[in-house]
Structure 1
């Protein structure tokens, strides 16, 4: 009887163990199926657990200038360093110490700093200084490679941005943005193509061209180690990269890199803390250069300080450059002729409105009033035009609207190339159009008027195209990695504006006015430029932080006048009142750089 009970107990134990094993088997199969369905390779991951790697190239597409010169993705020779443990015998320790000293000597850095870096490693890293990977010379790379070290390897690293990145405000930056990943790229997130930690474009062209810039996978280098962080024999260092002749894509901009660098350097030489320059090709309104100050380091972004802001597309008070619009409205409506005479005594008493020339200009024509930037002339002209007509022509000429390239492209109904572009403003409210005091202030680009440098440069292009408003591009095409065309963005007119904003005769008259400005008006200092130039100056009264009086200094124009090639708008922004006006010097510097690039002078 006792044996019978023991036998039954054993059967129960065997049954329980069998059921338990069956359950474990089912869990393993189900889990494996689940991981497989979600694209998770368990065998691969078991290898990854032994793998310590560094991403050498994110696989993201790069930007190029109009001549095919790279704006991002500079390739560097770098040191990748791995936290390997080796034996601790006295001879091995001495050997490693000598190797480290030799590497430090090749790199020309203190041995102590290099040793501390290597010994403090917990994960693989690149040797960096000031937050940027160190680019080795060819000689340094050869010497380190010749040492044959396991722990230190020379690799090619694709650096997204340079320490002093050209056109940094135009290109923008990439960073983590979990909210946008889940909201804007939902499908890719659910497919596992993007993670919450993925870096995506969050400003500038990086943001607007994000769908095309996403690659098909990174290039990484890995060193396989065991649990004790010893190198696994036979595996060593392995480079893993996507194999595709088509990706990543190349985004070809309209910018000219050497010219962009020259203009940025000129802004820095003049000590311009805040401002921008826009250079447009007058043939098609392509942005050849778009510089903005202050610049910023896209690798180290301080969003709390508002470090990214492309001032070339931000609308600010334009001052007297807006007199171009007032003159256009008056000539189109035929309420005044270029040789009509006005009387400037220095002020209009009923509004406390004054001219910059306190004693007044005396008897002066509209044309001469433009050259001398007489406030009284344009106040009286605006009274003849009226508030609604003034706003109408401002809009027709591409102000109070976004002018950057917008159109339908595959997958995007209304694709806008220019990130953060502001449309500007003429009046703050409808009632002000009928307010005479507001009208005369508006006529000279004060009160509520806001214009961006991009709009201002495009206004010049509109005049040179006899009243046709074009839409500036920043990107002309996208190409596959093998240079086959993927997508083009043809130059075009601004869709929101009719065929012509103004008549050709009016545009021609205004261009003549601009010639007078340089010949004997407020821009006569530009007669010293390498090219013959024409344009319009502007000084806007503004309030700085703390309520202190300040100014925006502008100059917009074109050159050479005989055969116009470029339209330029320069803005020196938020200048304390009474400080030297640098806008004309900057305008000349830009035009001289363009003349040098063209290889021809007047």
Structure 2
């Protein structure tokens, strides 16, 4: 019995010795790979601390994992992919091999060898092949030729840049950037869990900011190559994708924008050299924003915080001038202080208020309808005398002015949530303004003094009239979808809550008819040449002096086609020298022609 026990002990001892020797052999092999094979010997032995992790992966991020934006037809507005060449800092076995590889690569890329060597020599980390600081798109033929070279330092793959060279609706989308203070304040939990660092980029404006919690994603996708300490690829370990492998993230944000229309609206603003201003195109059926453009130009990768080019002027309140006469007319008609057909006299000024008409000679005897079409200041000041100041404010609210109108509602268990960033409310009267003062009412009635309106509100006011006084709450986002296109959340179109009951259908219809008169014989007569029959209202607002020169805002709002309204549009050309040729009317015509052509193309496609 004792002999058997001794035998078992000896066997156990031998087994343990075999295991120890095997582990020692494995350690020796790892030592050779990590240290000896690297050739990194010190003069007095091996620096084990420095070289203990020589075997490493060289990686490059090709997709940040952040969610992207799409237009209403699924066309990407951010995150467009392109095929690129990733170059790893891998050393060839000999100088002769390096020269041969360089020649073959340069021939494939169709560039001089010197240009390739200037890029590739001395690389310390993986880089994308670029010319002029821009990634070069690799075509299918080049990709096949590069693959045939079988060079471990090259990998053809997809790159998804969040922002391309040009970004449509850039102020709507906004930008991402570092904001340590906001990370610790707003995203405390993610910060403590290590999901966000102080250096992480988060949304700084626009949809990027308002949708930040959903756009963050769950991690980047990268391409890595495993090498030893001398930057030689390890056999059997090719370039590999590192990815969270999640079918649900990053999310897709489906906007209401039409990429083609948006692009052409922006082109129209460039064509007419609009330096400051905005254009808003809305769907007449529900108020959805089809296009929203703001100037000055802005690119999300070049943020000028000092001059604020990232600010979306379509959401910023500006002096509206005579487009506000629509509110004054609605209030006067609804309160029965006038009626269609009433005649007024305009002598060009209203001395007791120091108010003048743009027509210095005066319009003479003029009807209410004609006064709207020809934008007579004196007639609307006379109407304001008959109205309580509070009524002007009340009817402005009934038409969706003086309040935030962008879509707001419950979303993913949140009590109240909106897609709109920094939308301003605008105003009719400032807090300290005496609303009953005759001069105040006269100036207010023509959209001057304290009155401020956003282009979004102005376009939506036209939609309100087209819906018989019912105020829509415009959407800019319609859906949130998972990566696999499964619906996450739908933001339904809806009316604006919390407003006093709107104006009557009869008054709405009458004002729409008067808008056709503006184009038929009034201040918008130049629009008779548009591809569609359109209607609208002009406005010019004094905004004070800049550099010693008086400045004005030029507006035009309206709809088209008149027979079957499809779109409501607001155009603002801002801070132009007084007396400058009106740009808002030709810009409105350009935009309406874009819409008419889009409708025509759509019918042909069907």
Q: Give me the TM-score of the superposition, normalised by structure 1.
A: 0.88
Unpaired runs of 5+ in structure 1?
A: 1-45
Query: Of the candidates 494, 497, 510, which is equivalent to residue 495 of structure 1?
Result: 497
- 1:112-133: CA deviations, max 9, x gaps? 3432222242222222345432
Query: Of the candidates 266, 269, 276, which is equivalent to residue 267 of structure 1?
Result: 269
Alpha-carbon distance, 1:598 to partner? 1.1
Unpaired runs of 5+ in structure 2?
A: 1-51
Task: Give the number of aligned pairs.
Answer: 551
Q: Which segment is superposed worse, 546-555 or 485-494?
A: 546-555
Note the aligned Cα RMSD (angstroms). Answer: 1.9
Query: Of the candidates 439, 442, 460, which is equivalent to residue 441 of structure 2?
Result: 439
Q: Which segment is superposed worse, 102-111 or 579-588?
A: 102-111
**Which residue of the partner structure matches residue 6 of structure 1?**
none
Alpha-carbon distance, 1:398 to partner? 1.1
**Which residue of the partner structure matches residue 284 of structure 1?**
286
Cα contact 2:92–2:98 (8 A) shared by 1: no
Whole-Å separation in 1 of the counterparts to 2:105 and 2:544: 56
Cα contact 1:315–1:450 (8 A) shared by 2: yes
**Which residue of the partner structure matches residue 535 of structure 1?**
536
**Which residue of the partner structure matches residue 140 of structure 2?**
138
Alpha-carbon distance, 1:47 to partner? 7.3
Q: In the TM superposition, what are the counterparts of 1:176-187 in structure 2 within 5 Å?
A: 176-187=178-189
Alpha-carbon distance, 1:143 to partner? 2.7
Whole-Å separation in 2 of the counterparts to 1:489 and 1:426: 30
Whole-Å separation in 1 of the counterparts to 2:529 and 2:285: 26
Cα contact 1:326–1:378 (8 A) shared by 2: yes
Q: Which segment is superposed worse, 263-272 or 188-197?
A: 188-197
Alpha-carbon distance, 1:109 to partner? 4.3
1:399 aligns to 2:401 (yes or no): yes
Structure 2 CA distance for partners of 1:143 and 1:183, relative to 1, 3 Å: same
Q: In the TM superposition, what are the counterparts of 1:366-515 in structure 2 within 5 Å?
A: 366-498=368-500, 500-515=501-516
Q: In the TM superposition, what are the counterparts of 1:179-218 in structure 2 within 5 Å?
A: 179-218=181-220
**Which residue of the partner structure matches residue 8 of structure 1?**
none
- 1:145-181: CA deviations, max 9, x gaps? 3322222221111111121111111111112222222
Alpha-carbon distance, 1:216 to partner? 1.8
Structure 2 CA distance for partners of 1:69 and 1:354, relative to 1, 3 Å: same
Whole-Å separation in 1 of the counterparts to 2:350 and 2:548: 26
Alpha-carbon distance, 1:588 to partner? 1.0
**Which residue of the partner structure matches residue 549 of structure 2?**
548
Whole-Å separation in 2 of the counterparts to 1:270 and 1:479: 37
Alpha-carbon distance, 1:233 to partner? 2.8
Alpha-carbon distance, 1:259 to partner? 0.8
**Which residue of the partner structure matches residue 245 of structure 1?**
247
Q: Which segment is superposed worse, 421-430 or 283-292?
A: 421-430
Alpha-carbon distance, 1:220 to partner? 0.5
Q: What's the secondary structure of 2:547's corresponding residue?
A: helix
Query: Of the candidates 294, 317, 321, which is equivalent to residue 296 of structure 2?
Result: 294
**Which residue of the partner structure matches residue 74 of structure 2?**
68
**Which residue of the partner structure matches residue 342 of structure 1?**
344
Whole-Å separation in 1 of the counterparts to 2:347 and 2:549: 29
Whole-Å separation in 1 of the counterparts to 2:322 and 2:116: 59
Structure 2 CA distance for partners of 1:362 and 1:118, relative to 1, 3 Å: same
**Which residue of the partner structure matches residue 56 of structure 1?**
62
- 1:351-378: CA deviations, max 9, x gaps? 3211111100001111110000001111
Cα contact 2:88–2:154 (8 A) shared by 1: yes
Whole-Å separation in 2 of the counterparts to 1:367 and 1:283: 26
Q: Which segment is superposed worse, 245-254 or 560-569?
A: 245-254
